[in-house]
Structure 1
Amino acid sequence: MKTQLKLNNFSVSSSKNFLKLSNVVNIKEGQILEGFMVEQVTLIKEMNLTAIKLGHLNSGAQYLHISRDDSNNVFCIGFRTTPKDSSGLPHILEHLTLCGSERFPCRDPFFKIKRKSLATFMNAMTAPDYTIYPFSTQNLQDFKNLQSVYLDSVFKPKLREIDFYQEGWRMEHTDPNDKKTPIIFKGIVYNEMKGVFNNNQNIFVVRLLNLILPSHTYGIISGGDPLHIPNLKYQDLIDFHSRYYHPSNARFYSYGNFPLEDHLKFINDRYLFLSNKINTSTTKVPSEIRWTTPKKEHISCRPDPLIANPNRQNSIAIASLCTDINDIQETFNIYILSQLLLDGPNSAFYKSFIDSNISTGFGPMTGYESQCKDTVFILSLQGVQKKDFEKIEQIYKETLIKVIEDDFNEEHIDTVIHGIELQIKHQTSNFGLNLLFNLSPLWNHDGDIIKSLKINEAISNFKEIIKKDPKYLTFLVKKYLLQNNHKLTLTMSPCHDFEKQFIEAEKNLLELKLKNLIPEQLDEIYEKGQILFSEQQKEEDINILPSLKIKDLKTDVDRYEISDIEVSNVPVQLSIQPTNGVCYYYGILNTSQLADDLKHLLPIFNDVIIKMGTEKYDYRTWNRMVQLKTGGLYFSNHIVENKNNAYTYEEGIFIHSYCLNQNVKEMWNLWEELFNQFKLTDLQRFETLIKISAAKLTNGIAEAGHLYAMSSAASLVSPVARLKEKVSGLEFINRMKLIAQSKDMSLLLEQLQQIGKQVLKKSHLRSAINLTKESKHDILSSMESFYGVLKGYPIEKDIIFTTSNPIKLNNAAVHHILPYAVNYASKAILTVPYCHPEHVPLQVLSKLISSIYLHSEIREKGGAYGGGAKLASDGSFMYYSYRDPNSTRTFDIFDKTWEFLSKHNITENEIVEAKLEMFQTIDAPIAPGSRGLAKFKYGLTDDDVQHHRQQIKNVSKEQLMDVAEKYLSPNIKNLKIGRAFIGSHNSDLKSRNDENWITLNHEQIEAQAINIS
């Protein structure tokens, strides 16, 4: 639950575009527009936008419009929702509102409209104290379509009891068609929340919030506790909607270059003009009553078999309640303080706890939580020993005292300020959404959202405060951290019976509910299961939902000015873009010349190379230099398949950085220092970084289990996917666990030095740069100086491809045993690469079966949180399920795809919808700093993409059925098929004899590998 400074992710367009916003220049404060009173009109120069705040005269609904020259328009409707128990009421209501409405009575219109749209984003989200329904799109008609469905869903939902059973919870027979099978708990949200708590750090985050803010809505689990969700009654949900989803409690948000008046007229005419204002004060969150003495609590979690040291599976957090969210300047100041104390190797707590090896790294919740009514400063440590809990509390106190005595380094403060200023200039394609997500918590508590947009003012105020009182930051340390009695120390340790205890509690809850039921009520459970199953089988008319057509798509891909040049004989792709005074640099260092044993270490090299310092600078000085002049120097894996051949690929290291134009020379100096003077000799520092990396990797598995399952399954059929699994999948995570357990890492460090000597030169470097026309001459001149002093000489001008051998086995499967309450399943089939004529029909097919078959079978009937299919560029056709209570049933669903398609009459509308979903990605907006990267990284020219777009438009039903029969039919021999399953022990998988299942028990193994060569 780590949150960041409001607006610290935001990006802006080139200021010269601001004058194009003619649709708001005549809007004045006090003006009445379509039933709304204009309350504020404010120009925010640093973001090149105009913020317009309005209030609806009849209902009191609030409206914020951000007018900006950005085609990626955003709309959102939100409500303050403050539940009083952990039954998941607002979360289940969020699901249920999107299950049919007055104007759109079809089942589940949210997912159905999604495939009729070009939305660049669609979702609904439940926070502890608010619920929001946002979307974004570049198409005006699409905007109107989505707006109509979203608004009707929240204001006029059907809220059917049968949908409550499906989305929330129900008791039902394991097989709803067999009355003799056991009765169990089912429900999409029920299983979703079991999946959320697969992650121990999620347990820690939620309990910390509950305990430090116990008196109101933060004291419960708004998403729902699986052991409390079955206490929710259908009528409770109806009452909650009536109370909280009233226009008086609504907040509307729109962003972009579409006309504001059109939005207002639609909302007022359709939903608000007859609404009367009601009192919403009861929905407000009160300030937490401050404690007079600090508190301590201890909780349990499940053991994590992938953590390197079983004695260091403990976590501790020390959290202090700070200021009210509405004190905007104070929250800004505390954010800066949190960065100084917690961010990077120069921060005080990093030195105390990470460098000292007391902890393997900060927990994911570490930071300044500024999204609650009362903000919270949190230090969270993972990978600690239980015996060190008291020692950590003492070190925490001693560190704060030392900070007060020594004060903060002025240059360190400058690096934090520089980071904020750079982020204001840095551009992303989803600015409007980031703005919404950062403003929503403050707006939810009636804060001054216009003031919060004025980042430059906040920076100036901070600098003025520091100038007047140089000890101001140490004053904040005393006030909020050292002398604050509202402080919670929360510790967490693994319990080997944790999962067993949950299963037992779930069983007891079920037995309690069943015990008092008479036979007629037991019959009713079966009958309701039959009704729901029948409802899920119904064919329905989804043509009542508005839809775009293929003719609504743009005719050509967006084309950008890109040229290929050489600078000091190094190939450079040059792209002139409106980058708002920021220079973006990218490079690919080919690594095909490395020995295989070194290639497998590249992810580790990429992780540590920037964090170890250089010959001239220790790692702390080096980090400060990088942060003071750039947005960071980054290294990552680069494995990209040849668009024409599934068995060849480019392997290398992708590097990138960005900086303000005036800092470009310093950025080149930093890269030069790293290339020519890198230093990988500090063994203690290296061991620390390895432990941090290993801990971070294990934290991410439960949240992205479907991605790890797909990677594992694809690695059994595709040689390119096999390599990716080795450097980023579960296989790599397990290897990192073994490395972190090593008592001597000196040999490994020597190997990384060999990698550095071989790859950090311009011999196999190609690069790209995005910059403004005005800065082109100066930046390229300084780039030439940089390249001129690099070691080596470019010997290849084209992309260097590596050729791999096909995988021999045709059928393989792996079960990764991890102690999870729900599962992740995947099946992969090797098909054809990107440029093969069958690739596009397969892509469209993956979207088609996801919407017309897999969604219903896996989510609606199976109760999983999600499921679908996708096609990778290397030709791996992958099925997946996410937070899935089932195992073999899901694989059966995957296997029966062709059977379904052979009986289902695919309609033209279904094909159009599958194509539209493809274009959501292909035609998504690209930020100026990233334009041209498709060509640079993947070799895809604008003409390639346009050809691909045209192929999608031309795909026919016959082509879809042909590729479906060729690759998905069970009768086809010699297909390469891989399966992967992540979850607890499951004997049913072994009964699938023809699939060749093997088991990797991560609870026991020290080192296991899959032999598929």
Structure 2
Amino acid sequence: MGSQAARYSRELSAALFPKSTFHHNSGGDPVAIPTLTHEQLQEFHRTHYHPSNARFFTYGDMPLEPILKRAQELALSKFERLDVSALDVTDEVRYSEPQRVEVTVPSDALVADKEKQSVVSVAWLQINQITEEDSGLESFALGVASDLLLSGNQAVFYDSLIEPGLGSGFSPGTGYGGSRRETSFSVGLKGVKEDDVDEVERTVMSTLEKVAEEGFPRERVSATLHQLELSAARVSTQFGLGAAFGCMTTWVHGGDALRPLRTAEFAAALEKALDADPEYWQKLIKRRFLDNPHRVTIVGKADSEYDAKLEAAEAERVAAMESALSEDEKKVIVAEAAELKAAQETPSDVSCLPTLTTDAIPRLAQTYVTQHGECGGAPLQLDVQPTNGLTFVNVLFDLSGLPDRLVPYVDLFAGWLDEVGTQTLGPAELSEAIKLSTGGIGADVNVVSSTQDPDSCEVALSFSAHALNRNVPRMFELMADIASSSRWVEEQDRLRTLTTSLAAGAGASLSSQGLTYASMIAKAALSPSATLDERMDGLPQVTELQRIVREDAIEEVADRLAEVAAFVFGGKAPVLRSRISAEEDAVDSAKDGLASFLGSLPAAAGGSADGERTVAEAMSSFEASKAKTFLAVPTQTNYAAASVRTVPYTHEDSPALYLLGQALSTCYLHREIREKGGAYGGGCSAAPLSASFSFSSYRDPNQLKTLETFKAAGEWAALKGSFSDEDMQEAHLRAFKALDAPTAPQGRGNSLFLSKLDNESRQHFRDGLLACTKESMRAAAEKYLVGTEHSVAMVGNAAAVPVAHGVDGWTVLDTNGEAIQ
């Protein structure tokens, strides 16, 4: 609730749903929570969290009757049925004319232009999925329309709103919302000048009027439906959960529970409707948008003092509540607090809960057959898997010789590789071609430490794509076109739009993703790979993006990105290895396409510009240190992180440290940080592949105390008798739940390809985990956590910085990365 995006989204929902239950914050409004009584909480739980108000969902190849019988025996038979009809969500009372609402929201943590901080959206309430006839097809069609209006640089609203520079990006909540009883659509911009707010609203309406006249090109519709076909074909380990949550959308309101599974049926029906009526889209846009009076324009005005005012008002309310208490009432509160503390420190009896035992853990790691060969002059890893008609390809280019000065641009290059068009296809045309023929073409920067030495790293650009088997030749053609002729220098207007949007999102993320930044700062002092990660994705990158936007340094960016492209695809970055994951009958076509793509690249020459410091040289000169940093941001939400350097994956102590992270989180840190300290959550974990052990807390009102708790956790774990046999068993179960999580067919072999984690190493680590005892965990805590100085970082409220710059070794930074004296 602390970020601008979260606050604005809540206000948008409240305005769009003025009367129904969706008007309210489902998690509870922090301002109102102090007025909640214990009796009200109990009554709410008694009725809402009762089996009479529940839906049961099972997924998998299991007989239904035994499951229903067990549910009846274990749960339902122990309750009396309640009449919960009063809890049914009622239909919203629709507006008879459009509304306009102005709200105040927090400023983002960091903005490049303080004159552009307004947020504006136009939103509609649309289909009642329960009462309207043919709501399933119409909701599906509006979902497709949303994609055509918003997704990609070829989208209608991208062209009319983003490209002209009216704002820095789409506003929070933009898109089609089909997860409620009544669906909605919202579109708007953030980072808008106050004087341009009305222009944004006019542009939204004029754009829809144009679509109501012209409709959508059928080829673009086909591209969106192709993406839906790909999504349905792609095997996911989360399919069951996704189906469960999807079913709840309509099922909880008495509607069709299986609607989310009818995608192919609705796609065919939409194609039929489009064939039958050439003006289908025009009529839909007119009916659901232009002629729909339940429309809300919501304008958010940023206030840099928003959080301070909120805190002052909260303090005033608490003081008023306290002054109204009698002495006897205060004594009751003190007594109840003492009782609560005693209850928190009393171990819970979990014997009544069902659990597994370590006997259920397989002794052997799951392995898959991987073939190794050569393709296009580079090593090839071939994983033949049941990918359901899809082919996946990945090529790793060595970045170790890249000039180190280009590091700030590498992540931009990877993220925008499919955004600037080529010599044969403009940006919108390329986006449409990718969407029509593939499931995506993109790149990532892959920084991986050696399993034996955390100071030895591989830095590579991962260039990947996937497509239906029938489209594999076209996929490789597009990859070759992107690699050989991307328009980095020619598309500077496009780069300006991309940079502005990315800078705005990065600035806002300092508040909403504070834990990520705190963790990166703490870890960056410990290893060269973590340092590189922070340079590309951490605070240095955020501040660099703001500089580029402020100075309009787009020509500089274009030139640097062109340099990166010339290095990667111009022969200076050797292909380390490539990978194909496909079904047996698709392998030959994939290998032919890969060979053709690799053959289209200039021959590897290696090296970098003469005399320039390279990425490899910068990483080899790394020296470990310790951070002690507070990053001050305008937010009420605080985060704390601490890390220590430990041992690599293959070290004999690595399994014990991994298990210690599982046990310590639940047996000590949850109680001390959340239950006693008041943080929303916290824990610790070992990262064997980066040789580190890390602690964290989030939404934490007691950051400094939490840092002490992190130290105390290691000392507690090092004491004999701290962990019970039950704790040990639970830690093993959690550890193997993570290690043995299902892997989608296309992901089998990926850890070997990206991290060089072979079956022998995985089994050795697994054997170490299975052999781990309470004593080996205790010894690991004593050896690596006791008496070890932590590398620490906090991200928190700029109005209440708990440390001083230069005192006790602390560095206090503002959102520009500059010291606060």
TM-score range relative to shorter protein? over 0.9
Larger displacement relative to structure 2 (901-910 or 199-208): 901-910
**CA 1:831–1:986 in 2, change beyond 3 Å: closer, same or farther?**
farther
Gaps of 5+ in 2: 608-614
Give the C-alpha shift of residue 784 in structure 1. Answer: 2.2
Cross-structure match for 2:71: 267
Question: Map of 1:186-265 to 2, 5 A cutoff?
Answer: 197-265=1-69
Secondary structure of the 2:258 match is: helix
Give the C-alpha shift of residue 276 in structure 1. Answer: 5.9
Cross-structure match for 1:498: 306
Q: Of 258, 282, 288, which aligns to 2:86?
A: 282
Whether 1:886 aligns to 2:702 is yes
Q: Of 805, 812, 818, which aligns to 1:999?
A: 812
**CA 1:987–1:354 in 2, change beyond 3 Å: closer, same or farther?**
closer
**CA 1:317–1:811 in 2, change beyond 3 Å: closer, same or farther?**
same
* Cα distance in structure 1, aligned partners of 2:786 and 2:704: 18
Cross-structure match for 2:612: none
* Cα distance in structure 1, aligned partners of 2:207 and 2:50: 49
Cross-structure match for 2:563: 754
Cross-structure match for 2:582: 771
Give the C-alpha shift of residue 801 in structure 1. Answer: 7.5
* Cα distance in structure 2, aligned partners of 1:895 and 1:756: 46
Question: Map of 1:120-139 to 2, 5 A cutoff?
Answer: none
Give the C-alpha shift of residue 450 in structure 1. Answer: 2.6
Q: Of 719, 726, 729, which aligns to 2:538?
A: 729
**CA 1:794–1:250 in 2, change beyond 3 Å: closer, same or farther?**
farther
Q: Is the 8 Å Cα contact of residues 641 and 794 (structure 2) preserved in structure 1?
A: yes
Question: Map of 1:853-1002 to 2, 5 A cutoff?
Answer: 853-872=668-687, 873-903=689-719, 905=721, 906-970=723-787, 977-990=791-804, 993-994=807-808, 996-1002=809-815
Secondary structure of the 1:884 match is: coil
Whether 1:537 aligns to 2:537 is no
Amino acid aligned to 2:603? G
Question: Map of 1:26-425 to 2, 5 A cutoff?
Answer: 197-273=1-77, 278-326=82-130, 327-425=135-233
Amino acid aligned to 1:843? Y
Q: Is the 8 Å Cα contact of residues 649 and 803 (structure 1) preserved in structure 2?
A: no
Q: For residues 846-866 of structure 1, what are the alpha-carbon distances to aligned partners after superposition, in whole Å with 9 as ceiling and x for unaligned?
A: 222111111110000011111
**CA 1:199–1:903 in 2, change beyond 3 Å: closer, same or farther?**
same
* Cα distance in structure 1, aligned partners of 2:35 and 2:720: 40
Cross-structure match for 2:649: 834
Cross-structure match for 2:611: none
* Cα distance in structure 1, aligned partners of 2:805 and 2:712: 18
Give the C-alpha shift of residue 991 in structure 1. Answer: 9.4
Amino acid aligned to 2:753? F
Cross-structure match for 2:502: 693
* Cα distance in structure 2, aligned partners of 1:587 and 1:221: 45
* Cα distance in structure 1, aligned partners of 2:117 and 2:204: 20
Secondary structure of the 2:393 match is: strand
Secondary structure of the 1:822 match is: coil
Larger displacement relative to structure 2 (838-847 or 761-770): 761-770
**CA 1:456–1:954 in 2, change beyond 3 Å: closer, same or farther?**
same
Give the C-alpha shift of residue 465 in structure 1. Answer: 0.8
Q: Is the 8 Å Cα contact of residues 217 and 285 (structure 1) preserved in structure 2?
A: yes
Cross-structure match for 1:817: 632
Gaps of 5+ in 1: 1-196
Q: Is the 8 Å Cα contact of residues 831 and 875 (structure 1) preserved in structure 2?
A: yes
Give the C-alpha shift of residue 742 in structure 1. Answer: 2.1
Give the C-alpha shift of residue 907 in structure 1. Answer: 2.3
CA-based RMSD:
2.1
Amino acid aligned to 2:249? P
Larger displacement relative to structure 2 (281-290 or 331-340): 281-290
Cross-structure match for 2:427: 619
* Cα distance in structure 1, aligned partners of 2:361 and 2:605: 42
Q: For residues 858-885 of structure 1, what are the alpha-carbon distances to aligned partners after superposition, in whole Å with 9 as ceiling and x for unaligned?
A: 0000111111111222212111101111
* Cα distance in structure 1, aligned partners of 2:47 and 2:278: 49
Give the C-alpha shift of residue 761 in structure 1. Answer: 5.0
The two structures have a TM-score, normalised by structure 2, of 0.94
Secondary structure of the 1:368 match is: strand
Give the C-alpha shift of residue 441 in structure 1. Answer: 1.4
**CA 1:377–1:957 in 2, change beyond 3 Å: closer, same or farther?**
same
Give the C-alpha shift of residue 545 in structure 1. Answer: 3.3
Larger displacement relative to structure 2 (323-332 or 904-913): 904-913
* Cα distance in structure 1, aligned partners of 2:433 and 2:819: 42
* Cα distance in structure 1, aligned partners of 2:655 and 2:551: 46
* Cα distance in structure 2, aligned partners of 1:336 and 1:540: 50
Amino acid aligned to 1:830? R
Q: For residues 751-795 of structure 1, what are the alpha-carbon distances to aligned partners after superposition, in whole Å with 9 as ceiling and x for unaligned?
A: 110110110257522211110012222222233222222222487
**CA 1:723–1:744 in 2, change beyond 3 Å: closer, same or farther?**
closer
**CA 1:456–1:902 in 2, change beyond 3 Å: closer, same or farther?**
closer
* Cα distance in structure 1, aligned partners of 2:754 and 2:777: 29
Q: Is the 8 Å Cα contact of residues 401 and 606 (structure 2) preserved in structure 1?
A: no
Q: Is the 8 Å Cα contact of residues 354 and 361 (structure 1) preserved in structure 2?
A: yes
Cross-structure match for 1:475: 283
Give the C-alpha shift of residue 949 in structure 1. Answer: 0.8
Give the C-alpha shift of residue 452 in structure 1. Answer: 4.0
Give the C-alpha shift of residue 959 in structure 1. Answer: 2.3
**CA 1:770–1:1009 in 2, change beyond 3 Å: closer, same or farther?**
farther
Q: Is the 8 Å Cα contact of residues 317 and 489 (structure 1) preserved in structure 2?
A: yes
Cross-structure match for 2:316: 508
Q: Is the 8 Å Cα contact of residues 587 and 654 (structure 1) preserved in structure 2?
A: yes
Cross-structure match for 2:381: 573
* Cα distance in structure 2, aligned partners of 1:343 and 1:324: 24
Whether 1:780 aligns to 2:591 is yes
* Cα distance in structure 2, aligned partners of 1:251 and 1:478: 37
**CA 1:982–1:715 in 2, change beyond 3 Å: closer, same or farther?**
farther
* Cα distance in structure 2, aligned partners of 1:637 and 1:892: 35
Q: For residues 181-216 of structure 1, what are the alpha-carbon distances to aligned partners after superposition, in whole Å with 9 as ceiling and x for unaligned?
A: xxxxxxxxxxxxxxxx22111111111111111112
Write out the 4+ residue segments of structure 1 that deviate beyond 6 Å after TM superposition.
Answer: 800-803
Amino acid aligned to 1:202? A
Q: Is the 8 Å Cα contact of residues 188 and 204 (structure 2) preserved in structure 1?
A: no
Q: Of 692, 701, 713, which aligns to 2:522?
A: 713
Whether 1:592 aligns to 2:408 is no
Larger displacement relative to structure 2 (382-391 or 243-252): 243-252
* Cα distance in structure 1, aligned partners of 2:248 and 2:694: 36
Give the C-alpha shift of residue 960 in structure 1. Answer: 2.0
* Cα distance in structure 2, aligned partners of 1:716 and 1:980: 14
Secondary structure of the 1:774 match is: helix
Amino acid aligned to 1:821? Q
* Cα distance in structure 2, aligned partners of 1:809 and 1:795: 29
* Cα distance in structure 1, aligned partners of 2:60 and 2:606: 47
Give the C-alpha shift of residue 632 in structure 1. Answer: 1.1
Secondary structure of the 1:988 match is: coil
Q: Is the 8 Å Cα contact of residues 311 and 385 (structure 1) preserved in structure 2?
A: yes
Q: Is the 8 Å Cα contact of residues 216 and 286 (structure 1) preserved in structure 2?
A: yes
Give the C-alpha shift of residue 701 in structure 1. Answer: 3.8
Give the C-alpha shift of residue 627 in structure 1. Answer: 0.3
Secondary structure of the 2:115 match is: helix
* Cα distance in structure 2, aligned partners of 1:674 and 1:461: 35
Secondary structure of the 1:775 match is: helix
Q: Is the 8 Å Cα contact of residues 401 and 616 (structure 2) preserved in structure 1?
A: no
Amino acid aligned to 1:199? S
* Cα distance in structure 2, aligned partners of 1:242 and 1:959: 45
Cross-structure match for 2:610: none
Q: Is the 8 Å Cα contact of residues 715 and 782 (structure 2) preserved in structure 1?
A: no
* Cα distance in structure 1, aligned partners of 2:594 and 2:166: 42
Q: For residues 51-70 of structure 1, what are the alpha-carbon distances to aligned partners after superposition, in whole Å with 9 as ceiling and x for unaligned?
A: xxxxxxxxxxxxxxxxxxxx
Give the C-alpha shift of residue 805 in structure 1. Answer: 4.4
* Cα distance in structure 1, aligned partners of 2:430 and 2:182: 36
* Cα distance in structure 2, aligned partners of 1:805 and 1:725: 17
**CA 1:539–1:372 in 2, change beyond 3 Å: closer, same or farther?**
closer
* Cα distance in structure 1, aligned partners of 2:355 and 2:178: 39
